[in-house]
Structure 1
C-alpha cells in the first residue's frame, strides 16, 4: 500500500491515506463520489480511499490526471503553487521589477543597447 494525498469536499480536508491502485468499472462525479458503473472501454486506474473523518469514498485518478479533482480542489496544491510562483517569474511579467530590481536594470540596459544598434 502507498500513502496518497486526497481531498475531501465534505470535510474540506487534505489528508494522506494508505491506498492501493485499483481498476474498476465505475462512474465518478466531479467531487469524487461513486454513482454507478461504466463500460469496459472507459475503465481507468485510480487510487481509492476513505476520508478519515466522514468515511466518504475518495478518488485520485492515476491514468487520467487531467480529470483528477485533487489538483483543482486541494488547499495544499494551491499553497505550494503560490509558494513557488515567485521562483518561476520571468522578465516582462508583472512583479519581476519589484522582486529583481538589479536584474531588471540589466535587462533594460541590454534592451536599450540592442535598440541603439538597430537605429545606427
Structure 2
C-alpha cells in the first residue's frame, strides 16, 4: 500500500495545500519497504492532487484539506484521513500500525 503524508519538518503539515514536503511510503504487512520524500512548495492544489494520483497513492494522511480536493482524490480511489496532528511517525504508528524505527533516520531527525 502506498501511503502519502504531507509534512512540515517532522510533523504532519497543518494543511495539504501548503505543505512544503510529502513523504510517500510503500507499506507491506505493516512494514515500510520504501520511503520517498518529495518537495511540494509552490505547487497548486491541482498539481498536488495530480502528483498523488500519478504516484499511485492509496491512502493520504493529512491535516486540513480543501473539500473539493478531498472529493476528487476519493473519487480516484484514494482514501483520505484528515484532521490529523502531531509528529508524522507517531501518527503513522497509530493510524497505519508501523513503528517509528521502521521509518529510520528521517523520522528521528525531523
TM-score normalised to the size of structure 2? 0.28
Structure of higher CA gyration radius: 1
The answer to which structure, 1 or 2, has the higher relative contact order (CA under 8 A, 6+ apart) is 2
Per the normalisation by structure 1, the TM-score is 0.26
